[in-house]
Amino acid sequence: MILFNGVEKKYPGEVTGLDSISVRIEDGEFVFLVGPSGAGKTTLLKLLIREIIPTSGTVCIDDWEINKLSSRQLPLLRRKVGFVFQDFKLLMDRTIFENIAVSLEILGKGSSEIKERVYEVMKIVHLEEKSNYFPKQLSFGEQQRVAIGRAIAGSARILLADEPTGNLDPKTSWEILKIINDINKLGTTVLMATHNVDIVNSLKKRVLVIEKGKIVKDTKKSKYAK
Ligand SMILES: Nc1ncnc2c1ncn2[C@@H]1O[C@H](COP(=O)(O)OP(=O)(O)OP(=O)(O)O)[C@@H](O)[C@H]1O
Ligand SMILES: [Mg+2]
């Protein structure tokens, strides 16, 4: 369960990132975050991995208050919450296998467990044929799939995706969406910020509309008219 309670985020110079947001997201939900550029979507996602901390209010995942976690608990948070941002940074001098394995090495997993899990993940993102390729040998959409694989490899229960289809053509965007939807069907909670109205309208998931730092609409299984 994800809970934002009266969350405000101000950036330097009194710029509003989020303004008094309260929302609850249950385990296993798929939620789209939509709204104009500068509305606060990325801010909301970054609060969940403690890349930034709220100016006031609380952000909780289950019984953890994110801004109160100790430095020891932080790796556990990163394990629970996988994220894919638009500027996914793959390690260019490592293969696809190694890029996905990295997130498991950080968790201190043994090599046979890593191998097993990486192959499992490569199947989910449909890259099992390309395990020995390097990122520059892949298309942009395939690279995005590696980033998704890396995000879920540690068995993340929550997947945050910030415009994962931002630079992709429509066909590739749908492939990515299908993978994210499959990951959700396996039980992972998904929060996805997007400007892609077609995708939002077709999937009929919960939609949070954010404008000027506020949630102005929260619709279940509904369409979103821009
Ligand atoms: N690091 C920062 N320093 C100062 N202001 C910031 C910072 N990050 C975001 N902001 C401001 O906070 C507001 C919300 O930004 P945010 O990136 O969350 O919007 P967004 O909804 O993700 O927009 P987009 O659709 O363009 O990605 C904007 O006014 C933005 O300029
Ligand atoms: Mg953004």
Give per-residue pLDDT as tens, 130-161.
Answer: 999 999 999 989 999 999 999 999 888 999 99
Q: Which of 17-21, 23-27, 167-171 has the lowest mean pLDDT?
A: 167-171
Shortest-distance Cα residue to atom 27 of ligand 1: 37
Q: How far is the CA of 37 from the centre of ligand 2 (A)?
A: 7
Break the chain into its structural domains and give their ranges.
Answer: 2-219
Give per-residue pLDDT as tens, 70-106.
Answer: 988 888 888 899 999 877 789 999 999 999 999 888 8
**Dist. CA 207–CA 29, nearest whole Å:** 11
Phi and psi at residue 18, to the nearest 5°: -135, 150
Q: Is 212 in the pocket of ligand 1 (CB under 6 A)?
A: no
Question: Which residues, 6 or more positions from 216, have their beta carbon under 8 angstroms from its beta carbon?
Answer: 35, 209, 210
Q: How far is the CA of 121 from the centre of ligand 1 (A)?
A: 32
- 167 or 6: which leads in pLDDT: 6
Do 186 and 109 touch, CB atoms closer than 8 A? no
Q: Dihedral of the CA atoms 97, 103, 105, 111 (nearest 10)?
A: -40
Percentage helix, strand, coil, to 5, in the chain?
40, 25, 35
Q: Which CATH architecture is the domain 2-219 placed in?
A: 3-Layer(aba) Sandwich (3.40)
Q: Is 140 in the pocket of ligand 1 (CB under 6 A)?
A: no
- Ligand nearest to the Cα of 35, by number: 1
Question: Which residues, 6 or more positions from 155, have their beta carbon under 8 angstroms from its beta carbon?
Answer: 79
Do 48 and 2 touch, CB atoms closer than 8 A? yes
Q: Is 15 helix (H, G, I), strand (E, B) or coil?
A: strand
| Ligand 1, atom nearest to 43 Cα | 18
pTM for this prediction:
0.92
Q: Is 42 in the pocket of ligand 1 (CB under 6 A)?
A: yes
| Ligand 1, atom nearest to 35 Cα | 21
Where helices occur in the chain by DSSP H, the ranges are 41-48, 74-80, 96-106, 111-124, 140-153, 170-185, 197-203
Shortest-distance Cα residue to atom 18 of ligand 1: 40
Give per-residue pLDDT as tens, 20-33.
Answer: 999 999 999 999 99
